[in-house]
Chains A and B, each alone.
Chain A
Amino acid sequence: MSSGRTEPVAPGARGSRASRYGLRSVALVYLALILVLPVGMVFFRTFENGLQPVLQALSDPETLHALYLTVLIAAIAVPLNTVFGVFCALLMVRRTFPGKAFLSGLIDVPFAVSPVVVGLSLILVYGRTGWLGGWLAENGIRVIFALPSMVLATIFVSLPFVVREVVPVLQEIGVEQDQAAHTLGATPWQTFWRITLPAIRGGVTYGVILTTARALGEFGAVSIVSGKIAGQTSTLTVHVEERFQQFDLVGAYTSSLVLAVIALVIVLAMTVLKPKEAGS
């Protein structure tokens, strides 16, 4: 389950050593071109002019507030989407109900909506003249151009991950173990915590990682509904764009690097913290 786990090479796979090397080179060359080089470029650009400008950009109060806001939004959006995702995946794999294919198609839709449209849609609902805008204004509740709409946008754009990661795993493990537990007198709740959840751990973990990464990196939709108020509703990605606008590429790259480092720490933390016992 852990990325570092060493798997003994299957005896039957001995003859396929050549193909194994072949696959490895394909994977690594592709990753080098598409992933490692661009990400390496971000590192290089950040430290191109030494450490001083980076430290300066990092100690800027606006950057720090943006960082706090980004983490806060992710801390609200990720747990909500995780609980929803696991619940929804269980429902879709283990239960039958009409309209399931429709629901399944619907889950992916948030990704297909371009960020400008996500922003437009939230404004149409919560904006001054939007569906709920008047009522919200009367009651003095700020949704748009404040934290709530930024959270809504983030939940929107990171919604599908956990569902999509967990569904295939649930399909793969089947229901035999759950039934055994049920026969032995376990309550559904016990079965879920003791049997199902440990078995789908891998899927949930990757779902959470992807959700978090996406929540941290979202720009378009959040920037539109944030109002971009400096030091108040500006997230790290909005801050990156601001720096870019002001010809401060080092500042922009530094903030991006902070995002990348947070994402890396989360991936590593989830790999390390994961219980060691295997699924079966």
Chain B
Amino acid sequence: MARPAPSQVLRRRKVRRSTWLGVGLVTLYLSVIVLIPLAAVAWHAAELGPAAIWRVVSSPDTRAALQLSLFSSLAVAAINAVVGTIIAWVLVRDTFPGKTIVNALIDLPFALPTIVAGLTLLALYGPKGALGVNLAYTRAAVMLALLFVTLPFVVRSVQPVLMELEKDVEEAASSLGAHGPTVFRRVVLPSLLPAIVSGAGLSFARAIGEFGSVVLISGNIPFKTQIAPVRIFALIESGDSAGAAALAVVLLLISFSVLLLLAFVQRWGRKGDE
């Protein structure tokens, strides 16, 4: 991933050992927090046996919910990648009155309890909506809630890189006659790409797991606005926690593949650039 620096190559032997120690520590922390609990879920699902798992996963309502979750999360990630970058750009490079306030507000979607997020979105974009548009109980409402809860990701990952990115490189490129769009595409974008992809990846992951804020405004209509996490919840409620675990594992595998794919896209993008 990182280009090996000369000194690193020279000291490879020594570095290796400390690297392994580091990897060990990271794995330990991840295991306690994430891997062991998720392994317990997978184990619980496995007790069902493949036939029963297939029955749960392949039922039409589950498939519809999975599809909706997957596509809306991908769309949300894509929208965030574009708009989030623009917002980060404006917050770093532009000046206008009230910028500090706008910048401070960005993280609020995380701090608001999901139920309140759902309630306020419903109050604004629902049947008695203050804006006169009624999006409630449609797929647009699912997107809206997801866009709200994932707003900070791309903005906050692009912002620090943009700040580190030296302005003079851009200026040099401009003075050499490159136009705005060209400078952006050739100079700025390649540097920002890892941050954008990273932020979009997080948005996707969060969107596919999000539950509380979506369920109130989506109306939770099977085949239309029911998302996969609600289906998992339904299985638990119906006393089928193993089925729920199975569906959770499937959802997790799908999102993990998408995240891996993103990591490869990112690496490929960097290689093409160098």
Chain A residues close to B by CB (< 8 Å): 1, 3-4, 6-7, 10-13, 15-16, 19-20, 23-24, 26-28, 30-31, 34-39, 41-42, 45, 84, 87-88, 90-97, 100-106, 108-118, 120-122, 124-125, 130-131, 152, 155-156, 159-161, 164-165, 167-169, 171-173, 175, 179, 182, 199-200, 202-203, 205-206, 209-210, 213-214, 216-217, 219-220, 236-237, 240-241, 244, 249, 252-253, 255-256, 259-260, 262-264, 267-268, 271, 279-280
Shortest B225–chain A CB gap in Å is 16
A122 to chain B: closest residue by CB = B37
| A106→B232 contact, CB < 8 A | no
| A35→B110 contact, CB < 8 A | no
The docked-state distance in angstroms from the alpha carbon of A202 to that of B18 is: 26
| B:159-215 near A, CB below 8 Å | 159-161, 163-167, 170-171, 173-175, 179-180, 183, 191, 194-195, 198-199, 201-202, 204-206, 208-212
Looking at B157, B164, B255, B259, which has the most chain A CB atoms within 10 Å of its CB? Answer: B164
Q: Which residues in A have their C-beta under 8 angstroms from that of B26?
A: 84, 87-88, 91, 103
The docked-state distance in angstroms from the alpha carbon of A104 to that of B265 is: 13
The docked-state distance in angstroms from the alpha carbon of A109 to that of B256 is: 7
| A96→B7 contact, CB < 8 A | no
Q: Which of B104, B124, B251, B264 contacts A3 (CB 8 A)?
A: B104
The docked-state distance in angstroms from the alpha carbon of A122 to that of B208 is: 20
Chain B residues close to A by CB (< 8 Å): 1-2, 4-5, 7-8, 15, 19-20, 22-23, 25-26, 29-30, 33-34, 36-38, 40-41, 43-44, 83, 86-87, 89-96, 99-100, 102-117, 119-121, 123-124, 130-131, 144, 147-148, 151-152, 156-157, 159-161, 163-167, 170-171, 173-175, 179-180, 183, 191, 194-195, 198-199, 201-202, 204-206, 208-212, 228-229, 232-233, 236, 241, 244-245, 248, 251-252, 255-256, 259-260, 263-264, 267
| B89→A240 contact, CB < 8 A | no
Q: Which of B95, B191, B251 contacts A114 (CB 8 A)?
A: B251
Q: Which of A38, A45, A213 contacts B111 (CB 8 A)?
A: A213
Shortest B135–chain A CB gap in Å is 11
Shortest B227–chain A CB gap in Å is 9
Shortest B187–chain A CB gap in Å is 11
B166 to chain A: closest residue by CB = A280
Given contacts A109-B259, A120-B41, A267-B104, contact A10 B171 (CB under 8 A): yes
Looking at B1, B111, B112, which has the most chain A CB atoms within 10 Å of its CB? Answer: B111
Shortest A114–chain B CB gap in Å is 4
Shortest A162–chain B CB gap in Å is 11
| B19→A45 contact, CB < 8 A | no
| A168→B160 contact, CB < 8 A | yes
Shortest B154–chain A CB gap in Å is 11
| A209→B41 contact, CB < 8 A | no
Main secondary structure of the interface of B (DSSP, over half): helix
Question: Can you add 15 more A-B contacts, CB < 8 Å, to A172-B191, A263-B108?
Answer: A10-B167, A28-B102, A38-B148, A41-B130, A42-B116, A102-B260, A112-B251, A112-B259, A130-B40, A167-B198, A219-B115, A244-B119, A252-B115, A256-B116, A260-B112
The docked-state distance in angstroms from the alpha carbon of A90 to that of B26 is: 11
Q: Which residues in A have their C-beta under 8 angstroms from that of B183?
A: 12
Q: Which residues in B have their C-beta under 8 angstroms from that of A271?
A: 100, 103-104
A213 to chain B: closest residue by CB = B110
Q: Which of B7, B111, B156, B201 contacts A165 (CB 8 A)?
A: B156
Q: Which residues in B have their C-beta under 8 angstroms from that of A156?
A: 33-34, 37
| A27→B86 contact, CB < 8 A | yes
Q: List 9 A-B contacts (CB under 8 A).
A: A3-B100, A12-B175, A26-B83, A106-B30, A114-B233, A116-B236, A206-B160, A240-B115, A267-B106
Shortest A148–chain B CB gap in Å is 12
The docked-state distance in angstroms from the alpha carbon of A170 to that of B123 is: 42
Shortest A110–chain B CB gap in Å is 6
The docked-state distance in angstroms from the alpha carbon of A237 to that of B113 is: 6
A164 to chain B: closest residue by CB = B198
Q: Which residues in A have their C-beta under 8 angstroms from that of B204?
A: 112
The docked-state distance in angstroms from the alpha carbon of A92 to that of B27 is: 12
Q: Which residues in B have their C-beta under 8 angstroms from that of A13?
A: 174, 180
Q: Which residues in B have their C-beta under 8 angstroms from that of A31?
A: 87, 102, 105
| B108→A168 contact, CB < 8 A | no
Looking at A27, A202, A249, A267, which has the most chain B CB atoms within 10 Å of its CB? Answer: A27
